[in-house]
Amino acid sequence: MNKLIYPIAAVLILAGSAFTFVTAASWQIADGYSIAFSSDDASGIFKGFKGNIAFDGQNPAASKFDVTIDVATINTGNGLQNKHAKSDEWFDVAKYPQIHFISQKIVKAGSGYQVTGDLEIHGVKRSTTIPFAFKSAGTGGTFIGAFTINRSDFKVGKPGGDVGEQIKLDISVPVTK
Amino acid sequence: MFKKALLLGIISGLLAGIAGVIYARVYHSSLGADFSKVAPTIRIIASSLFGGVLAAIGFFLLDRLLKEKGEIVFNLLFSIVSFATLLAPFAVKLPLDLEAPELFPGMVIPMHFFPALAWFTLKPLFIKK
């Protein structure tokens, strides 16, 4: 019986490690991405975006997104608004310099996909589902998604005021292999 | 009188525009902030010319209406209006692809005083009372 322990262990290790090779293709974020937000009164973009994207359209379950937005790169088109947005009243860039999203589950949904993961803004982490599409083009492609969050859920700004509670995010991220 | 005022308005407006264009170039080369997309040369000159001509009309009307006190009121109004327009650059929303919008007011605010500066400098050459 003892003689079987090592062969069994070897088989188990081999079999277990084999599953780690079933991963989605890794994509590099290309220039020209757009992370835009809009609400009743404020709109703008984030210019700093990076992260790791592993995605396989045929096997979304093996896919993984781990991306961050540099909050200091916010641009509303107005210098005063930019300063205000970075202040402790809104994003508090000094304390929370990044918006972080890490996926937990990616599934096919209709003609596109849906990613559910932890979205962390202003130090508040919430499970968020983002519908998106992937348009393949040659060796690259573009992820396109749009979703709405409630800024008060993330304690961004004070409730009420001129800026609406609902903030729409439009994301377009070209990628290459 | 209106002819002289208009001529003064046009020339001071043009000079203010030229000064604005030079200032924009200096601003761009020293700070690297390029706002030529929203404030191109033609727009700087045209808006300065607009200010100069508007000043000429205002000067003429106030001179007619208030006689001796017209010039005093005009000078005061021209300065106040120039100063009041400073709020506009702070409120303007620039295209999102422009870098450092916080530097935009620093470029255009001085330009708001150029028409008045040119007017007050050149006025003794055109209108003598």
Task: Give the tens place of pLDDT for each residue, B41-62.
Answer: 999 999 999 999 999 999 999 9
Chain B residue with minimum CA distance to A74: B96
pLDDT at A121 (0 to 100): 95
Q: Which residues of A touch B94 (CB under 8 A)?
A: 77-78
Domains of chain A, earliest start first: 24-176 (2.40.128.110)
pLDDT digits (tens, 9 = 90+) for A115-130: 999 999 999 999 999 9
Per the structure, the complete domain to which residue B86 belongs is given by 2-126
**pLDDT averaged over chain B?**
93
pLDDT digits (tens, 9 = 90+) for B72-107: 999 999 999 999 999 999 999 999 989 889 999 999
Q: Is the pLDDT of residue A15 over 80?
A: no
The model's confidence at residue A9, banded by pLDDT at 50, 70 and 90, is: low
SS3 label, residue A102: strand
Contacts 24+ apart (CB under 8 A), B28-35: B31/B103, B31/B106, B33/B99, B33/B100, B33/B103, B33/B104, B33/B107, B34/B98, B34/B99, B35/B94, B35/B98, B35/B103, B35/B104, B35/B107, B35/B108
**Closest C-alpha to A54, from A172, A131, A134, A146:** A134
Could you give the percent of chain A with pLDDT greater than 90? 69
3-state helix, strand, coil in chain B (%, to 5): 80, 0, 20
pLDDT at A42 (0 to 100): 86
ipTM of the complex: 0.75
Kindly state the average pLDDT of the residues A38-62: 91
pLDDT at A12 (0 to 100): 63
Kindly state the average pLDDT of the residues A95-107: 95
Residue of A25 and A175 predicted with greater confidence: A175
Give A64 to chain B, closest Cα distance, Å. 30
Kindly state the average pLDDT of the residues A104-120: 93
Mutate to test the interface with B, among A39, A75, A76, A82 (most CBs of B within 10 A): A75
Question: How many domains does one find in chain B?
Answer: 1
The model's confidence at residue A102, banded by pLDDT at 50, 70 and 90, is: very high
pLDDT at A16 (0 to 100): 52
Is residue A82 less than 8 Å (CB to CB) from chain B? yes
The model's confidence at residue A22, banded by pLDDT at 50, 70 and 90, is: low
Number of inter-chain CB pairs under 8 A, A vs B: 33
Q: Which residues of B touch A32 (CB under 8 A)?
A: none
Give B59 to chain A, closest Cα distance, Å. 35
Kindly state the average pLDDT of the residues A71-90: 93
Task: Pick A79's closest partner by Cβ from B95, B96, B101.
Answer: B101
Contact between A147 and A130 under an 8 Å Cβ cutoff? The reply is yes
Q: Which amino acid is at A2?
A: N
pLDDT at B7 (0 to 100): 95
For residues B46 and B48, give the distance between their C-alpha atoms in angstroms, rounded to a whole number.
5
